[in-house]
Structures are given as structure tokens and as C-alpha cells.
Amino acid sequence: MRGQLQEKTVYHVRDTGKFPIGFTRIVLVLSILAVLSLVPVAQALEPAWDYTRAGAEIGGVAVSSKGDLITAGAGKVLFFSQNGTLLAEEPFGSDVSMTADGKYTASAYASSLYYFQNPLPAGSPGQQKATRLWDYELSELVDSFEMNRDGSLITGQTLGKNLFVLNTKTREAGGNTKVHDNVIKISGSRIVGVSASKIHVYSSGGTVSRTSDLATNSAPHLLVLPSSSSAVFNDGQAVRCVNIYNGTELWKRQVSGAVTDLSMAHGGSLIVVGTESGNIAGFDEKGNLSWDYASNPDKRQGAGITCSAVSDKGSIVAVGTADGKVLFLNSKGELAGSYAAREYIRHIAMSSDGSVVVAASDERVYAFLPGPQIRVTPSPSRTGTVITTTPAPSLTGSPVPVLTVQPATTAIMTEVTEVPTTYSVIRTATQSPSALVTLLISLALAMIIFARRR
């Protein structure tokens, strides 16, 4: 009632020696922010574009050194600009290899090799077309092939494991039907082959110039050439480096799981090893472990490493997995970005500086433009233990008959018919916190809500 005194309740604050709740919350938030600043944030990288080739299996992809041109073998050879414009498609190609300067592309299809002058992505409409310079017919189906960086030599193996070598300038071919290797690689004019018991060095004409003995636990199927005198290959759950001229073992490293992928930075400063268990390790040219990363900590089946590519300075490593992930690691081996394609990733390639990365599943090409935040200064390497073995005696190989190769008629360039592209709308990358960051944020919110309820 009006005029009646209202009773007031007076609360007395008791000094407990504790900070006020508001101050406690501020300290809590600042502590969480400090922790978050120490946690590397992985970026969820969406493809800049993707392209579907329904019904045509993609057998390989390649990227020019500058990243302005991309090729893919999908029955035909597809030429893309960096933004995903389909410039041309030329018959034929199930796998592709491009020169470092982006001027020429070689493809293999059935028993034939094709050599193209590439489109100029920034040129006039008449220059944005591919020209097939020539093709070459081998006597057997092509099993694997690659071209050296300057495009002067193409080498590989037929289905019967016979070596072939083709000079792209003279179009003269040589080969070898007497010696059979499990894997062949070329670097400059050096051609090296490795089998379960031998390592061979071949001339540019295909004859054996050096043979050395090897003792392996399993037949190698992966090979890289870090220097003019060394070769690195897989041997079960180990990676081995040997001298190509005498077979002497330079170093050997065990890894967690059977080796399923092997790649390196140009010049061999970083050698990347992927395993069936999903682990990725980076070694320097002396076999010292620089970093390792577990992409499959839960040990799930079917999540192994299938392919990888390394920028020339090792600042970016792109990795594909069997369960459909594309991973981007920085020079410390930390996860800096990822994309869930949910398709088996079979091929991956990148430009020299890592600014353009292209991955492919059976029917789809994904193009990524990783940002500069992925690149960091390399951390000091961790030194591994060298496993040495007694070098095997070297054997001198003798020349052997070359593989018979019949030249095909030089192809006449025809007008390229533009076809509609089916690549998706260009999307920009979005930032996504890692699982640990999400957990910490959720914990902070829960503590704040709990404090309010009290």
C-alpha cells in the first residue's frame, strides 16, 4: 500500500579471498586464447574448381612449373588453364607428362606415344590450342612412362617389362628386351632401373652401361633419383638409398607400414614416403628424418597414402589417400590444410612453387590454390640412425639388342572443337578450426555457462 514502508533485504558480501567471478572469467578466456594461439590451425581447402569426366578413367595429371597450365589423361589429353577453362582436348592419352617449362606434353595410350605443343593459356584464341607434333607406335602396350624435365627423352616400360627410350627431337627410339626391371626412372639423361636383385644404368639409346647386384626383401615398385649418383626405392617397410654405379647402400630407413608412395623435391632435398597405414615421413638426401605425420591415427583400413607431390623447395607437400582425402603439409610436416573428396585419390601433381595443386580420382580432377600461409621456414632436421650393409660387388653390363619400334605416320593437326566444361563454380577457401581448437572452445563455453548458473 502507498505510504507503507517496504522492507529491504540487505546482502553482506563475505570476503573469501577469491577473485570476483567476472575477473575469473576474463582470466579463463585469456588463458584459452593463449592456448589457441599455440595450436596450428588447419585450413579447410575447397577446390578452386573441379572437372568430371564421366565414364573415362583419369590415368594421370601434370602441372606446368608456373602453374598456368594443367593437363590430364582421360582417354583424351585435356588442357586446362589455371582457372579451370578447358582449352583443348586432343586424342589420345591415358597418362601424361609435361616439361617443366610447360611448353610440351607427352601422353601414352595403348601402344602409342604422343607429343604435343601445349596451348598458351594467356595467348590469343589461336594460341590457346594444342598441336600434336607427332606420334609413335611401339610393338607392345605401354605399361608406364615418363619424360625428363626438358622434354628431350621419354622412357618407360611395355607391358612385358621391356624398356623403351625415345628421343623427342630426332624421334629415334631404342630399347631393351633382355633386361627386365620392376621400375624405371629418368633424370636428365640418366635412366635407372631397379629389380629385386639388380640395379641397371642405361644409355639414352637403351643399352645397359652399368649393372650392380642388390639384395632386397621384396621387389621394388617405387623409385626416385635424388642425385647424379644415387637412387632411392622401396623395399617392403623400408626405404633404401644406393649408389647407382656400384650398388653400395648409402642409407636405409624403416617406416611404419609397407611403402605405397615415394616422391621428392626437385634435386632431392626432401624425400617423402607414404605408407599403407597412412603415415607420411620426410627425409633429407642423407636419410635424416626431417618430420613425420600420421594421417590415420585411428588405424582404419583403406586409408593409406596413394600419391604425393612436393614443391621444388619442399615448402609444400600434397598427399592423396585411399579414403578420399587431399592433405597439405607445410615444410615442418604439419597439417596446414585438407579436403575430403570422398573418392579414392589416385594422382596428384603441383607447380614448382606449390601455388597450384591438382589431384584426381577415377573420373574427377580437383584443382587447389594453396595460400602462402601454408609455407613456413623449415625446422631443424631430426637425425635418424643409418642402417648400413656390406656393399655387393658390381657387375659390368654389356650392350643388348634394342626394342624394335616402328614409327607411325606424323599426325596432322586438326581444328579443336570446344566442348562444354562441367567443372563446378569456383569456390574460395574457408578457415576451419582443428578438432583440438573446437574441443577447447566447447570447454570454455561450458565453463562460462556453469559459472553463470552458480
The answer to whether residues 448 and 440 touch, using CB atoms and an 8 Å cutoff, is no
Q: Is the dihedral angle over the CA atoms 374, 380, 385, 388 positive or is it negative?
A: positive
The answer to whether residues 342 and 362 touch, using CB atoms and an 8 Å cutoff, is no
pLDDT of residue 345: 98
pLDDT of residue 162: 97
What CA–CA distance (Å, rounded) separates 58 from 231?
A: 29
pLDDT of residue 306: 98
pLDDT of residue 375: 61
Pick from 5-9, 79-83, 143-147, 174-178: least confident = 5-9
On the question of pLDDT at 5 being above 50, the answer is: no
Please choose, from the candidates 128, 123, 92, the residue with its C-alpha nearest in 3D space to the C-alpha of residue 107.
Answer: 92
Rg of the chain over all Cα atoms, to the nearest angstrom: 28
Q: List, for residues 43-72, the tens digit of each pLDDT value.
A: 689 999 999 988 899 999 999 999 999 999
What CA–CA distance (Å, rounded) separates 365 from 348?
A: 10
- The predicted model gives 319-342 an average pLDDT of 97
Q: List, for residues 221-253, the tens digit of each pLDDT value.
A: 999 999 999 999 999 999 999 999 999 999 999
pLDDT of residue 374: 72
- Burial label, 122 (beta-carbon count in 10 A; 0-12, 13-18, 19+): exposed
* CA distances from residue 103 to 88, 152, 172, 184 in whole angstroms, order as listed: 14, 12, 21, 24
Q: Give the global pTM.
A: 0.77
pLDDT of residue 408: 36
On the question of pLDDT at 24 being above 80, the answer is: no
Is residue 22 classed as helix, strand or coil in its secondary structure?
A: helix
Confidence of residue 42 (pLDDT cuts 50, 70, 90): low
Q: List, for residues 357-415, the tens digit of each pLDDT value.
A: 999 999 999 999 997 657 644 433 333 333 333 333 333 333 333 333 333 333 322 22
Q: Give me the residues paired with residue 215 across strands.
A: none
Confidence of residue 447 (pLDDT cuts 50, 70, 90): low
Question: Is pLDDT larger for residue 167 or for residue 395?
Answer: 167
- The predicted model gives 330-334 an average pLDDT of 96
Please choose, from the candidates 195, 200, 243, the residue with its C-alpha nearest in 3D space to the C-alpha of residue 220.
Answer: 195
Q: Is 126 left (phi over 0), alpha (psi -120 to 50) or beta?
A: alpha
Percent of the chain beyond pLDDT 70? 72
Contacts of residue 395, defined as CB under 8 A and 6 or more positions apart, other chains included, come to 211, 212, 213
pLDDT of residue 371: 76
pLDDT of residue 454: 55
> What is the CATH architecture assignment of 43-431?
7 Propeller (2.130)
DSSP state letter for 374? G
Apex 220 CA angle, 148 and 245, nearest 5:
60
* CA distances from residue 393 to 182, 213, 232, 441 in whole angstroms, order as listed: 21, 7, 19, 62
Sheet order of strands, 347-350 included: 49-52, 364-368, 357-360, 347-350
The owner of cell 583424351 is 76
Percent of the chain beyond pLDDT 90? 70
